[in-house]
Amino acid sequence: MANVIPEVTFNEGVKEFLGQSFCNEKAVSAVGEEKCQEKLSDILRSLSYPPSYTVLRINTLHHSKQDVFHQLTQVLVQQYKSKDRLPPTVDYHASLDDTLVISSPTDHSKRHEVCPEANKEVIVDRQCGLAVLRGADVYAPGIMAATQDIIKGDKVSVFVDIDSQCRKGLIHRFKGNKAFIGNGCAAMSRKDLFVGNSSPRGMGVHMTEPIFDCPSLNGVLVDRLFLQNLPSIVVSHVLNPQPGGRLLDMCAAPGGKTTHLATLMKDQGVVIALDKSLSKINKIKQNAKRMGLSCIQTFVYDSTKACCMQASCNSDAPPFSPESFDYILLDAPCSGLGQRPQMANQLQLSEVKSYPAYQRQFFSTAVKLLRPGGYLVYSTCTITLGENEEIVSWALNDYPQLQLCEQVPHLGGIGLLGTMLQPDQLCKLQRFHGVSPMISCANGHSDNDTIGFFVAKFVKQFPS
Ligand code: SAM
């Protein structure tokens, strides 16, 4: 019976392509083949697990850190009382003054101590499985199959269908590739799930013993807290926009960074948020509203075309006049290979390889829109060399007016070897490698136990 989350699988060639990022000629000649391979294996293994701590950003514009800290602690005490488990601890992040960290009460390496206990099985799809690994209960739409005689209140063991092979409503025990993700209590019977009503909603299994003990934060203190990955919070601090400035967030939805940037600007100035998708733009509007921010203006727009070269253009709506922004965030669409947890990555190699050309289009527009003396931050949630260091190397070569800046804070590692970038330049880049402490570090939270992420900061110099 499957009892361990397997290492993430990739389509043909993608793993090898990642190998070329980490074990390229320069890296191998600097630290040796063995070290490079070791690092790559650590990263690949960590991708199938969630980070061992949860990070939340405080809405410091409208709420005090101390109040939110106490309110969150109370919520968790109540939540865990009903689960009959010890609550996790809440801490202020050591370097980020608007960030709270919730550490799991049980060390992730103890996951093997939770075993399938029930004879009755529930099979969930991958998306649902990933949500459970990050602290959610099982909701009915994610359930693919359930043992025949399950009734409400039964103890059940929950498995994820790794290869998406389970037929909806399967009656027999699923024999395909599955991984155990915890035990729970059925909140619906098999009949509720599959007979009559073809698309039931609501909680299907209340997870009482998930293999990773992450708190469930859906709907918790929504006007005070924003659930974000640590590197995403770092990005906005690195850009460091000042109140009264004019900022463009080129790929903004769902608005985690947009709302943070507006908060850092104390809701003073202009924050323009672009995204190509209308439904996603609506998400930014909802998030701005719940955080009580009014300086954010949203537009459904293709950012690669956001710079206008005609005299008739202005800076109120896209396309904007050149050099009309003090700050630009380009949190670019990317292959997302740093996301955690993942199980079976569906990306084709051709798609992974297609991103750098697209990212260069956004970047060229960003350079045109930035005023001299202004700052540009480029970030991705992926780990390939081509979408990260190679974009920086290309940008510095094609746009001599750009200069790399030191990053504050710098909580991740530095850039990868393998491009024309020099060591002093690599030190200015911030790479979060997504390595879980249970694999390579001591217990406890470390700022490298995050999703894989990359950040570069540039200043546009005045013409000499
Ligand atoms: N910055 C966001 C945040 O922190 O919440 C996440 C951005 S996500 C990495 C990339 C976004 O780029 C997606 O929402 C996608 O819809 C958007 N996007 C992709 N192509 C675009 C384009 N040509 N113009 C504008 N937005 C685009």
Task: Indicate which residues carry an active-site annotation.
Answer: 381
Are residues 241 and 376 both part of a single domain?
Answer: yes
pLDDT in tens, the chain (464 residues): 445 688 999 999 999 999 999 999 999 999 899 999 998 999 998 998 888 889 999 999 999 999 999 999 999 999 888 777 788 999 999 999 999 999 876 666 666 677 888 789 999 999 999 999 988 999 999 999 999 889 999 999 999 999 999 999 998 899 999 999 999 999 999 999 998 766 889 999 999 888 988 888 888 999 999 999 999 999 999 999 999 999 999 999 999 999 999 999 999 999 999 999 999 999 999 999 999 999 999 999 999 999 998 888 888 899 999 999 999 999 999 999 999 999 999 999 999 999 999 999 999 999 999 999 999 999 999 999 999 999 999 999 999 999 999 999 999 999 999 999 999 999 999 999 877 655 543 333 456 789 999 999 999 999 98
| Residue whose CA lies nearest to ligand 1 atom number 17 | 251
Q: Total domain count for the chain?
A: 4
Whole-number Å distance, alpha carbon 251 to ligand 1 midpoint, is 4
CATH number at residue 127: 2.30.130.10
Query: What is the Cα–Cα distance from 302 to 65, expressed in whole angstroms?
Result: 37
Are residues 131 and 92 both part of a single domain?
Answer: no
Whole-number Å distance, alpha carbon 252 to ligand 1 midpoint, is 5
* Concatenated DSSP letters of 324-375: -EEEEEEE-----TT-SS-SB----HHHHHHHHHHHHHHHHHHHHHEEEEEE
Are residues 336 and 431 both part of a single domain?
Answer: yes
Task: Report if residue 164 sits inside a domain.
Answer: yes
Whole-number Å distance, alpha carbon 330 to ligand 1 midpoint, is 9
Task: Report if residue 4 sits inside a domain.
Answer: no
| Residue whose CA lies nearest to ligand 1 atom number 10 | 333
Whole-number Å distance, alpha carbon 91 to ligand 1 midpoint, is 31
Task: Report if residue 3 sits inside a domain.
Answer: no
Are residues 152 and 289 both part of a single domain?
Answer: no
Q: How far is residue 126 from each of residues 129, 162, 343, measured CA to CA in Å?
A: 5, 6, 7
Q: What is the dihedral of CA 360, 364, 367, 368, to 10 degrees?
A: -170
Query: What is the Cα–Cα distance from 133 to 145, expressed in whole angstroms?
Result: 19
**Which atom of ligand 1 approaches the CA of 331 most closely?**
1
Query: What is the Cα–Cα distance from 175 to 172, expressed in whole angstroms?
Result: 9
Are residues 365 and 250 both part of a single domain?
Answer: yes
Are residues 199 and 302 both part of a single domain?
Answer: no
Residue with tokens 């050099």: 323
Query: What is the Cα–Cα distance from 332 to 355, expressed in whole angstroms?
Result: 9
**Which atom of ligand 1 approaches the CA of 334 most closely?**
9
**Which atom of ligand 1 approaches the CA of 257 most closely?**
4
Whole-number Å distance, alpha carbon 420 to ligand 1 midpoint, is 28
Query: What is the Cα–Cα distance from 419 to 396, expressed in whole angstroms?
Result: 12
Classify residue 257 as exposed, middle or buried by CB count within 10 Å of its CB (0-12, 13-18, 19+): buried
What are 213's two structure tokens? 């003990």
| Residue whose CA lies nearest to ligand 1 atom number 8 | 333
**Which atom of ligand 1 approaches the CA of 284 most closely?**
5
Q: Which residues touch 73 (CB under 8 Å, ≥6 apart)?
A: 87, 90
DSSP-derived secondary structure letter, 138:
E
Task: Report if residue 384 sits inside a domain.
Answer: yes
Whole-number Å distance, alpha carbon 281 to ligand 1 midpoint, is 10
Q: What is the Cα Rg of the chain in Å?
A: 23
Ligand 1 pocket test, pick from 276, 290, 354, 364 with the greatest ligand atom count within 8 Å of Cβ, gives 276
Ligand 1 pocket test, pick from 248, 251, 298, 355 with the greatest ligand atom count within 8 Å of Cβ, gives 251
Q: Which of 109, 129, 154 is the last residue of a domain?
A: 109
Q: Do 160 and 124 form a contact (C-beta atoms < 8 A)?
A: yes
Are residues 97 and 123 both part of a single domain?
Answer: no
* DSSP SS3 for 69: helix
| Residue whose CA lies nearest to ligand 1 atom number 12 | 251
Are residues 88 and 169 both part of a single domain?
Answer: no
What pLDDT, on a 0 to 100 scale, did the predictor assign at position 357? 98
Task: Report if residue 437 sits inside a domain.
Answer: yes
| Residue whose CA lies nearest to ligand 1 atom number 14 | 253
The closest alpha carbon to 193, from 128, 132, 101, belongs to: 128
Are residues 369 and 450 both part of a single domain?
Answer: yes
Are residues 389 and 339 both part of a single domain?
Answer: yes
Task: Report if residue 441 sits inside a domain.
Answer: yes
Ligand 1 pocket test, pick from 250, 275, 320, 382 with the greatest ligand atom count within 8 Å of Cβ, gives 275
| Residue whose CA lies nearest to ligand 1 atom number 23 | 302
Task: Report if residue 222 sits inside a domain.
Answer: no
Residue with tokens 């073809």: 198
Task: Report if residue 408 sits inside a domain.
Answer: yes
CATH number at residue 73: 3.30.70
| Residue whose CA lies nearest to ligand 1 atom number 26 | 275
**Which atom of ligand 1 approaches the CA of 277 most closely?**
16
Whole-number Å distance, alpha carbon 275 to ligand 1 midpoint, is 6
Query: Which residues are 327's β-sheet partners?
Result: 247, 375
* Host domain of residue 370: 229-460
Pocket around ligand 1: residues whose beta carbon is below 6 Å from it? Answer: 232, 251-257, 274-277, 280, 302-304, 331, 333
**Range 90-109 burial, b when 16+ CB lie within 10 A, else e:** beebeebebbbbbbbebebe
**Which atom of ligand 1 approaches the CA of 362 most closely?**
23
Does the predicted model carry a pTM greater than 0.85? yes
Q: Which residues touch 83 (CB under 8 Å, ≥6 apart)?
A: 208
Whole-number Å distance, alpha carbon 249 to ligand 1 midpoint, is 9
The closest alpha carbon to 457, from 338, 344, 370, 365, belongs to: 370
Query: What is the Cα–Cα distance from 132 to 124, expressed in whole angstroms?
Result: 10
CATH number at residue 257: 3.40.50.150
Are residues 99 and 22 both part of a single domain?
Answer: no
Query: Within 13 Å of residue 339, how many CA atoms lie on the same side as its CB?
Result: 14
What are 157's two structure tokens? 């063991």
Which one-letter amino acid corresponds to residue 459?
V
Query: Within 13 Å of residue 164, how many CA atoms lie on the same side as its CB?
Result: 9
Are residues 145 and 249 both part of a single domain?
Answer: no
